[in-house]
Structure 1
C-alpha cells in the first residue's frame, strides 16, 4: 500500500524547489507589484475626479469606490445596524462577514480613501508573501505565475480577493504538506477549516470542501471507518469556521446579516457583471424589467448548479477508476465551471485561478491565453467608459478589446476545466516512490506494490 496517497498521506515532498535567493526575489517582486497596485489606485483617491479621468487611468476599484458608497469612513460596526436605503446596514460591504470586518478594521485608523488604500495595502503585503512562499514550496518556479504576472498588479488592491486566495492556497498546502507523524484526521479538519475560512471571506472556497471530502472517501488505503472519520472532520472544520464567522451576527440582527445574501441574489445581470448571461443573450438580456432579470437569475443559478455537479461527477468517476480522486484538479475545474456559469464574472476573479495555475501542471500557453484575455478585457472595459465619457459614441478599439476579452474568457473557461481534469497536480508527485540507493531496491518496491508513475 502506498502510505503517501492523498487521502491518508502524512508528508509530501515539494513538487519542485526554488533556491532561497530565488524565493526572496519572488517575494520582493510580488510585494513590488502589490505596492505598484497601490500607487496605481491612489491616482483615483483625490477629490472631484470625473469619470473620464478615473476610467482613462483605469485606477478605480471596489476598495476605493466602496469607501464612499458603503460609508466606511463612519467606522460603524458592520452587519448589525438597521438597513439603509441601499438595502444594507451602514458600513456594510456586500460580501460575507470576514471581508466586511477586514475592511472595517482597515478603515478604523484613517479618515480618507487614500489612507484606507494604504492601510489595506499594508495588510495585504504579508498575505502576498504567504501565498508566494506556499506556492513555491508546493509548485517550485510555477509560483512565478502568481508572483510576477499582470493579475497581481491589476487586482491586488481592486477588491479583497487576496484574502480568499491565501485561504485556498493554505488549504491545498495543508493537504499536500501535512507534517509526518501528525494525525491524518486533523489534516482533514485543518483543510476543511481553511476552506471554510475562505468561504467566510467570499463563498467560493467552500466548494473545494466537496472534492476534498470525496477524495477522503474514495482514495484507497485507509479503512472505511477512517475515511468516514476524516471526511466528517473536513466537513466539521469548514462548518465550524463558517458558523463562528456568521452566527454571532445572525443572533444580533438576522435581518441585517441576511441583507447581504438578498443584495447579491437580487443583483441585476447587466454589463457590469461581465457574464455570459448578459453577453450571449442580447438583446433579451439587456432588458431591465423584473421578469427578465428573474429569469436570468434563475437560469444562471440552475446552470451553475448543474455545471458544478457535473465537474464533481467527472472527478468522482476518475477517482473511482484510479482508486485516487484528483481533488485539486477537480477543484480547479469546478472553479472554472463556476466562473463561466455564474451571474457575475468580475475582472479580478482571475486572481482566484492563479493558485491553480501554479499547483496544477497545465501548459503555460493556457495561462498566457487566459491572462491575455483578461488583460484585454481590463483595458477595453475602462477605456470604453473613458471614451464614452468624453462624448465618443461610435464603436472603438476599446469596445473591440472588451468583446474579445470577454468572449476569450467565456470560451477558455470550459476548455480550462477539461485541461485541469486531464493534468497532474503537484500532490500526485507524492505517489512516486522515493529513490533507494540500495541495489535491487526498485524491484523490491515494485514487488510490494508501491505506486509508480506508470500506475497513474
Structure 2
C-alpha cells in the first residue's frame, strides 16, 4: 500500500534551502503497529487478570508479577462502592473514599471504569477496553510524526508490562498528541491557537499525571526565542500556551477545590509525605543505605528535602541548557529539551516507579538517538521489573538471604540511575525526528521546496 501517513520534510540545516528526503510509513504498516500495540495491551490485561482469579493472595500475585495499581487500588480505594472521588470526607488512609492518590482526571477515569462492574475482573476488562483507543491514538500520532520509529513504542516491553499497571497511558497520549499537533498544525491556521491547543493538551496530561506540565516550559521558551517572529507575536503565542495549560488544569481541579478543598488537597499531601523506601526504586533510597532503610522520620524528612531540591536544580539546569541552545540557534530544540527534562526528573525525583518507562518511550520515538541507548534502557527496566517482583515474592515466603533476584534488581536500578543522566545529554545533543520541532513550532509546517521544472 503506497498511501503515506507520515511525510516529513524540513529545510536543510547545512546552510542551503534544499530539503532532505521525507520519512514515510505506509497506512498498512501503521495498521500493523496499532494491531501489535493493542495486542500488547490485551496481553497486559491477560497478565493482570491472573491477580483477579479467586483465591489469589499477595504471595501468588507477586510470584506471577501481576500485582499493580489497577489490581490493588480497586479494593483498597473502594472503587467497587462507586463513590464519586475527591469530594467525600477523608477516610482512614488519608484520602476520600473512592479516590486515587493521583490527580483528578485519573481518579474520574477509574471511577467511570468501575461504574458498570462490581468485581476486579470486570474492572480490569473495562479499563483495558477504554485504553484501546488511547493506544491507537498514541501510535497513530507517533507514526504521523516519526514514521517507523513509532515501533519503539508500539512493540517494546513497556506496553506489555505497564499498559494495565495503572493509568499512565492517559498522560502519555496527551503528551504525544500535543507534540504531534505542534509539528503538524495545518498551514494557514492561527499560530496563536496552535499554542493554545498544545498548551491545553499538556495541561490535560497534567490533570491525569503532573509530569506533562513540565513540557510547557520548553515549548513556551521555543515560542519566545523564535528569531524570525516579531516580539509581539512571540508573546501572544507564549501567553496562549500558558493560558491553554493553566485553563485546562483549573477546569479539572477548581470544582473539587470549591466542593471540598481538604479532600482535593489530600492527594498532594499523600504524595508529599510518602516515605522514600525500597518501593520508590530511586537513587535516594539505594544510595543512602542502610540509613534509608531505617524507620527514622528525621532522616526521611532530610531525604525528601534533598530529593525535592535536586529535582528542582536538575530541571532548571536542563531548561537553561535548552534555552541557551535556543538563543544561539534562534530556534529552541524544545522536544529534545523536554526529553532531557523527563530524564532529569526521573533520576532526581524521590520516586522512579517501574511504569515510568512508559513516559520515556515516546521520546525514544520523537528524538533521533541511537537504538543502542533505547535497548539499554528498556533492558535495564525489564530486568528491574523481573528482579523486583521476584524479590518481593521471595521476601513474602520468608527468604532472608540475598538472592539472584536482589542482584537483578540492583543491576536494574543502578543501570537506570546511570543511564538517565546520560540519556539527558544524549537527547540534548540529538535531533528530533522532524526538524519542525525547531522550525515549525513557531511558523507552521514548512512547505517542501520544489525545484522548478522547465515546460516542454
| TM-score normalised by length of structure 1 | 0.92
Distance 1:13 1:436, change over 3 A: closer
The residue aligned with 2:451 is 437
How far residue 15 of structure 1 moved from its aligned partner, in angstroms, is 6.1
Paired residue secondary structure (1:294): helix
- Within 2, Cα distance between the matches of 1:393 and 1:143? 43
How far residue 42 of structure 1 moved from its aligned partner, in angstroms, is 0.2
- Within 2, Cα distance between the matches of 1:150 and 1:222? 42
How far residue 14 of structure 1 moved from its aligned partner, in angstroms, is 11
Q: Among 359, 365, 368, which residue is 1:358 paired with?
A: 365
The residue aligned with 1:29 is 36
How far residue 348 of structure 1 moved from its aligned partner, in angstroms, is 0.2
Distance 1:13 1:187, change over 3 A: farther
Deviation readout 1:58-85 (Å, 9 max, x if unpaired): 0111011000110100000000000011
Equivalent residues in 2 for 1:256-335, closer than 5 Å:
256-335=263-342
Q: Does 1:339 align with 2:346?
A: yes
Question: Structure 2: which 5+ residue stretches go unaligned?
Answer: 1-9, 13-18, 440-445
The residue aligned with 2:124 is 117
| TM-score normalised by length of structure 2 | 0.92
Q: Among 39, 60, 63, which residue is 2:67 paired with?
A: 60
The residue aligned with 1:444 is none
Is 2:98–2:111's contact at 8 Å kept on the other side of the alignment?
yes
Q: Does 1:199 align with 2:206?
A: yes
Q: Among 116, 137, 145, which residue is 2:152 paired with?
A: 145
Range with greater deviation from structure 2 (80-89 or 429-438): 429-438
Deviation readout 1:165-224 (Å, 9 max, x if unpaired): 000001101100000110000000000000000000000000000000000000211100
Question: Structure 1: which 5+ residue stretches go unaligned?
Answer: 6-11, 441-456
Deviation readout 1:422-443 (Å, 9 max, x if unpaired): 0000231575883423279xxx
- Within 1, Cα distance between the matches of 2:20 and 2:96? 48
Q: Does 1:416 align with 2:423?
A: yes
Is 1:192–1:236's contact at 8 Å kept on the other side of the alignment?
yes
- Within 2, Cα distance between the matches of 1:196 and 1:435? 35
How far residue 51 of structure 1 moved from its aligned partner, in angstroms, is 2.6
Q: Among 84, 90, 97, which residue is 1:90 paired with?
A: 97
- Within 2, Cα distance between the matches of 1:14 and 1:347? 38
Is 2:183–2:436's contact at 8 Å kept on the other side of the alignment?
no
- Within 2, Cα distance between the matches of 1:286 and 1:13? 54
Is 1:80–1:253's contact at 8 Å kept on the other side of the alignment?
yes
Is 1:135–1:358's contact at 8 Å kept on the other side of the alignment?
yes
How far residue 301 of structure 1 moved from its aligned partner, in angstroms, is 0.4
- Within 2, Cα distance between the matches of 1:265 and 1:109? 33
- Within 2, Cα distance between the matches of 1:276 and 1:73? 36
- Within 2, Cα distance between the matches of 1:435 and 1:181? 17
Aligned CA RMSD, in angstroms, stands at 1.9
Distance 1:433 1:187, change over 3 A: closer
The count of aligned residue pairs is 433
Equivalent residues in 2 for 1:388-399, closer than 5 Å:
388-399=395-406
Is 1:15–1:138's contact at 8 Å kept on the other side of the alignment?
no
Is 1:14–1:137's contact at 8 Å kept on the other side of the alignment?
no
- Within 2, Cα distance between the matches of 1:27 and 1:294? 45
The residue aligned with 1:445 is none
- Within 1, Cα distance between the matches of 2:21 and 2:121? 40
How far residue 394 of structure 1 moved from its aligned partner, in angstroms, is 1.6
Is 2:30–2:143's contact at 8 Å kept on the other side of the alignment?
yes
The residue aligned with 2:80 is 73
